């Protein structure tokens, strides 16, 4: 059976050893391998990183199908998905700033924590429709949030499967009313990744353990949008000799600097413990 996998980096920095492992892992799981550039965050993404990422992947010996999908070129697809959700009254505009949210949480004295940060305390969910329309009419910047309770109520109990962890019951409620369109760009990570994996026919989503919980939300969005659920394979996160996760700020661990220091692709594969 065809197994379609993808590596989906954000061009906000150079690839490091953790990314090399993730890309090798994705490629090894698939019979077809795709690369997707996740560049909706225009404030943080840079074209030079986009180019350098593809150059590093080719240097590492990976080959992927073309064309490479760049999220910034597909905002219409995300708008279509948002419209479908809005038509079912599953979204609401949120005008809050980070400060507003923090103030509300401080006043309440408590906020449950989600994998994306504190759960949104629901300020804009409770606006009257007159107030909401008035703010929209003034062109106030706003995000779009999912009505999580309603979304869960209209879907049956959902499950998804991870190759390591086995069958999971979806628990999207831990995220609260997630943002699906950001104030600064009309999509969010959760929305874009779900739409893209569907449109690209990805059958196995591979990515690091740090995004394990995100799959709860993605499974819910798949159900709401009528998509088939892919299989999941969340891999371990590589750490350095001190046990710290590799991060973009560790310049010495980027493939660019390892290449400049004379290391070969085989050296890098060995450094990340890649036997295949």
Catalytic residues: 248
Asked if 8 interacts with ligand GLU (CB under 6 A), we say: yes
Asked if 5 interacts with ligand GLU (CB under 6 A), we say: no
Task: Tell the smallest beta-carbon distance from residue 205 to ligand GLU (Å).
Answer: 7
Asked if 10 interacts with ligand GLU (CB under 6 A), we say: yes
Query: Which residue in 35, 146, 151, 193 binds ligand GLU (CB under 6 A)?
Result: 193
- Write out the binding residues for ligand GLU, residues 27-86 only, by CB under 6 A: 38
Smaller CB separation from ligand GLU, 10 or 29: 10
Asked if 9 interacts with ligand GLU (CB under 6 A), we say: yes
CA atoms within 13 Å, Cβ hemisphere of 89:
5
Asked if residue 200 lies in contact with residue 34, where contact means CB atoms within 8 angstroms, the answer is yes
Task: Tell the smallest beta-carbon distance from residue 129 to ligand GLU (Å).
Answer: 35
Task: Tell the smallest beta-carbon distance from residue 217 to ligand GLU (Å).
Answer: 11
Q: Which of 45, 46, 10, 14 is nearest to 254 (CA)?
A: 14
Asked if 221 interacts with ligand GLU (CB under 6 A), we say: no
Smaller CB separation from ligand GLU, 38 or 177: 38
Q: Which of 217, 193, 273 is nearest to 241 (CA)?
A: 273
Task: Tell the smallest beta-carbon distance from residue 138 to ligand GLU (Å).
Answer: 34
Taking CA atoms, 76 is separated from 45, 59, 71, 119, 195, in Å, by 19, 33, 10, 28, 11
- Could you give the 3-state DSSP secondary structure of residue 114? strand
Asked if 211 interacts with ligand GLU (CB under 6 A), we say: yes
Q: Record the tokens describing residue 108, joined without a space.
A: 């309440």
Asked if residue 95 lies in contact with residue 60, where contact means CB atoms within 8 angstroms, the answer is no
What is the DSSP code string of 157-222? --EEEETTTEEEE--GGGG-S-EEE-SSSS--HHHHHHHHHHHTT-SEEEEEGGGTTHHHHHHHHH
Cis peptide before 129 (omega within 30 of 0): no
Task: Tell the smallest beta-carbon distance from residue 207 to ligand GLU (Å).
Answer: 4
Q: What does DSSP say about strands 231-235 and 204-208: parallel, antiparallel, or unpaired?
A: parallel
Asked if 105 interacts with ligand GLU (CB under 6 A), we say: no
Smaller CB separation from ligand GLU, 147 or 198: 198
Query: Which residue in 145, 207, 216, 234 binds ligand GLU (CB under 6 A)?
Result: 207
Smaller CB separation from ligand GLU, 53 or 144: 53
Nearest residue to ligand GLU on Cβ basis: 207
Interface positions with ligand GLU (CB under 6 A): 8-10, 38, 193, 207, 211
């Amino acid at each position: 059976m065809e197994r379609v996998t993808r590596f989906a980096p954000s061009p906000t920095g150079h690839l490091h050893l953790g990314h090399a492992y993730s890309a090798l892992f994705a490629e090894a799981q698939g019979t077809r391998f795709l690369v997707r550039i996740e560049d909706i965050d225009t404030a943080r993404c840079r074209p030079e990183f986009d180019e350098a990422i593809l150059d590093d992947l080719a240097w590492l010996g990976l080959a992927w199908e073309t064309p490479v999908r760049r999220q910034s070129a597909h905002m219409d697809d995300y708008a279509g998905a948002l419209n479908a959700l809005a038509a079912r009254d599953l979204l609401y505009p949120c005008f809050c700033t980070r400060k507003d949210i923090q103030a509300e949480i401080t006043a309440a004295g408590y906020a449950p924590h989600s994998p994306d940060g504190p759960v949104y305390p629901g300020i804009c969910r409770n606006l009257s429709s007159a107030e909401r329309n008035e703010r929209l009419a003034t062109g106030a910047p706003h995000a779009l949030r999912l009505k999580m309770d309603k979304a869960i109520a209209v879907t049956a109990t959902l499950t998804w499967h991870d190759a390591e962890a086995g069958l999971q019951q979806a628990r999207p409620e831990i995220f609260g009313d997630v943002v699906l369109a950001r104030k600064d760009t009309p999509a969010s990570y959760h929305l874009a990744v779900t739409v893209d994996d569907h449109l690209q026919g990805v059958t196995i989503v591979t990515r690091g353990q740090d995004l394990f919980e995100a799959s709860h939300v993605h499974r819910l969005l798949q159900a709401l949008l009528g998509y088939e659920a892919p299989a999941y394979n969340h891999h371990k996160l590589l750490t350095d000799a001190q046990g710290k996760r590799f991060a973009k700020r560790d310049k010495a661990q980027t493939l660019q600097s390892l290449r400049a220091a004379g290391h070969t692709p085989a050296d890098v594969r060995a450094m990340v413990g890649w036997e295949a």
